[in-house]
Amino acid sequence: MRSDVHTPAPASSGIGSRIASIDALRGFVMIVMLLDHVRETFYLHLQVTDPMTVPGTPPELFFSRLAAHLCAPVFVFLSGLSAWLYANPDDSPRRDVRRFLLKRGLLLIGLELTLVNFAWSASFSVIYLQVIWAIGVSMLALALLSGLPRRALAGIGLVIVGGHNALAGLSVPPDSLWHAPWTLMLHRDWLIPEGFVKVRVSYPALPWVGVILLGFALGPLFARASDAGQRRRALLGLSAACLLALGVLRGFNLYGENAPWVAGATTLVTAMSFLNFTKYPPSLDFLLLTLGIGLTLLAAFERWRNAFTRLCAVFGGAPMFYYLLHLYVLLIGYRVLLAVLGPNQGERFGVDAGQFPWIWGVWLTLVPLLYPPVKAFAAYKRRTRRAWVKYL
């Protein structure tokens, strides 16, 4: 995709700058994602619920998890935006994006079922359909719908993102013929609860289809002919609309989240209750917050050009390689520590309660360690003509 270009340029100079901003934002949320995956590796003995249980959840754990909420919505949204850029190259005829999206979507689903699942548990006894699966399904849906007018895609995306919460209270029994599609699309549950290999849907796919459609519909903002200042104003305006809608819907507990917020004993506890959103599947309020922040960051990264944004752009330029690499680094690191130090949290090795800053320390240590191999692969990706590389 066009997001392979990383050459920094002045913010107003055209496509190189805009691609850098997309890569930088993608890389930034993937760095934040690493924090949450370190937590899931070394703090898994202290589980967090969805939404989180505010009483008893330390603020450092709550806000680290909250920051990680940004990752999946921004990444899926940027996948849709990048798909539009791939379909509409500068100074070239429009490409048919369907075949690319179909191949990439199927590849992602295949990777979820194999390399990704093994990286989490070093076994295949339980197959978890998580974020890579959801992105793959979203790409398949976008491939089928990409021929529709942009306004129709935006409308469908808005209806899905805004309307799926109305179905949150519905329940489909496991013996129903509708249980499998209901679980795959909207309800986090076991798809195959018993047998040699069990399958659990962690990321119901339908809301993510809405997000990728919205990203695709926003693509023309990044065309070469678009004005940089107007684009930034549009991004900030859309961000403000998301956050204002969140303020109204959440502030008055009107719609968009299953559990209402309540006043707590302190301002901090009240804020935690207000910001406590459902991720599986993502509620409307969850998406309003994360996409609102993401759009502001995208506008900001169009202006910012420094060492940090260049580091982020490197990670954002080889996302699938980085994703697989960091999972296996965490798997191997955990297994080594478990073998050397032994289990200290039941059958697991992990950080003791109250020592969460160690999670931040491991995270900040891993970022520079992962940077050289990701940078090397991103450079290889730019110069090679091998077809398979573009899918990573």
Mean pLDDT of 339-356: 93
- Residue 195 identity: G
How far does Cα 108 stand from its chain's mean position? Answer: 14
134 pLDDT more than 50: yes
316 and 25 Cβ atoms separated by less than 8 Å: yes
Report pLDDT for 15. Answer: 36
- Residue 194 identity: E
Mean pLDDT of 179-195: 95
3-state SS, 55-77, equals CCCCHHHHHHHHHHCCHHHHHHH
Q: Which of 192, 168, 169 lies closest to 179, judged by CA?
A: 192
Report pLDDT for 8. Answer: 35
Model confidence pLDDT, tens digit, residues 32-75:
999 999 999 999 998 899 999 999 899 999 999 999 999 999 99
Task: Report the alpha-carbon distance of residue 225 to residue 215 in Å, rounded.
Answer: 19
142 and 80 Cβ atoms separated by less than 8 Å: yes
3-state secondary structure of 212: helix
Q: Which of 200, 356, 117, 169 lies closest to 278, judged by CA?
A: 169
Task: Report the alpha-carbon distance of residue 324 to residue 72 in Å, rounded.
Answer: 16
Report pLDDT for 305. Answer: 86
Report pLDDT for 387. Answer: 74
Report pLDDT for 204. Answer: 97
For the chain, count helices (H), then strands (E): 15, 3
Model confidence pLDDT, tens digit, residues 263-282:
999 999 999 999 999 999 99
Residue in the structure block whose two tokens are 């899926």: 76
Task: Report the alpha-carbon distance of residue 65 to residue 25 in Å, rounded.
Answer: 18
Rg of the chain on CA atoms, in Å: 21
300 pLDDT more than 80: yes
* Residue 390: band (very low, low, confident or very high) from pLDDT cuts 50, 70, 90: confident
Mean pLDDT of 331-344: 96
Report pLDDT for 4. Answer: 37
Report pLDDT for 176. Answer: 94
13 pLDDT more than 80: no
Task: Report the alpha-carbon distance of residue 192 to residue 171 in Å, rounded.
Answer: 17
User: What is this structure's pTM?
Assistant: 0.93
194 pLDDT more than 50: yes
Question: Environment class of residue 324 by beta-carbon count within 10 Å: exposed (0-12), middle (13-18) or buried (19+)?
Answer: middle
377 pLDDT more than 70: yes
* Residue 19: band (very low, low, confident or very high) from pLDDT cuts 50, 70, 90: confident
**To the nearest whole number, what is the mean pLDDT of the chain?**
92
Report pLDDT for 96. Answer: 86
379 pLDDT more than 70: yes
* Residue 16: band (very low, low, confident or very high) from pLDDT cuts 50, 70, 90: very low
* Buried/exposed 36-67: b ≥16 CB within 10 Å, e otherwise: bbbbebbbebbebeebbebeebeeebbebbbe
Report pLDDT for 198. Answer: 96
Report pLDDT for 206. Answer: 97
